[in-house]
Amino acid sequence: MPSTFRAPAGPATVFSADQKIRLGRLDALRSSHSVFLGRYGRGGVSVPPSASSSSSSPIQAVSTPAKAETTTKRSKVEIIKEKSNFIRYPLNEELLTEAPNVNESAVQLIKFHGSYQQYNREERGGRSYSFMLRTKNPSGKVPNQLYLTMDDLADEFGIGTLRLTTRQTFQLHGVLKQNLKTVMSSIIRNMGSTLGACGDLNRNVLAPAAPYVKKDYLFAQETADNIAALLSPQSGFYYDMWVDGEQFMTAEPPEVVKARNDNSHGTNFVDSPEPIYGTQFLPRKFKVAVTVPTDNSVDLLTNDIGVVVVSDENGEPQGFNIYVGGGMGRTHRMESTFARLAEPIGYVPKEDILYAVKAIVVTQREHGRRDDRKYSRMKYLISSWGIEKFRDVVEQYYGKKFEPSRELPEWEFKSYLGWHEQGDGAWFCGLHVDSGRVGGIMKKTLREVIEKYKIDVRITPNQNIVLCDIKTEWKRPITTVLAQAGLLQPEFVDPLNQTAMACPAFPLCPLAITEAERGIPSILKRVRAMFEKVGLDYDESVVIRVTGCPNGCARPYMAELGLVGDGPNSYQVWLGGTPNLTQIARSFMDKVKVHDLEKVFEPLFYHWKLERQNKESFGEYTTRMGFEKLKELIDSYKGVSQ
Is residue 549 annotated as part of the catalytic site, yes or no? yes
- The C-alpha atoms of residue 159 and residue 264 are separated, in whole angstroms, by 49
Under DSSP, is residue 373 helix (H, G, I), strand (E, B) or coil?
A: helix
CB atoms within 10 A of CB 393: 24
How far apart CA 142 and CA 261 sit, in angstroms, is 29
Q: What angle do CA 42, 278, 34 make, to 5 degrees?
A: 55
Cβ 459 vs Cβ 165: under 8 Å? yes
Alpha-carbon separation of residue 96 from 60, 77, 99 (angstroms): 39, 22, 9
3-state secondary structure 129-181: EEEEEECCCHHHEECHHHHHHHHHHHHHHCCCCEEECCCCCEEEEEECHHHHH
Separation of alpha carbons 265 and 397, rounded Å: 5
Of the residues 30, 111, 136, 203, only one is catalytic, namely 203
CA separation for the pair 221, 203 (Å, rounded): 16
Residue among 111, 141, 177, 285 flagged as catalytic: 285
Give every CB contact of residue 609 below 8 A, 6+ residues apart in sequence.
Answer: 534, 535, 536
Q: Residue 287 catalytic?
A: yes
For residue 503, indicate whether it is catalytic: yes
Out of 22, 25, 74, 134, the active site residue is: 134
Q: Is 614 exposed, middle or buried (0-12, 13-18, 19+ CB in 10 A)?
A: exposed
Distance CA 261, CA 253 (A): 13
3-state secondary structure (DSSP) of residue 514? coil
Does the annotation count 429 as an active-site position? Answer: no
509 is catalytic: yes
Catalytic residue among 198, 429, 468, 509: 509
- 30 catalytically annotated: no
d(CA 44, CA 66): 19
Query: Contact at 8 Å (CB) between 237 and 114?
Result: no
Give CA angle at 148 (142, 152), nearest 5°.
Answer: 130
Distance between CA atoms of residues 154 and 171, nearest Å: 10
How far is residue 94's CA from residue 611's CA, in Å, rounded to a whole number? 61
3-class state of residue 429 by DSSP? strand
CA-to-CA dists, residue 466 to 299, 448, 452, angstroms: 18, 15, 16
Write down the catalytic residue from 468, 553, 555, 586: 553
Q: Which member of 377, 414, 503, 545 is catalytic? A: 503
Question: How far does Cα 294 stand from its chain's mean position?
Answer: 19
Tell me the catalytic residues: 134, 203, 285, 287, 503, 509, 549, 553
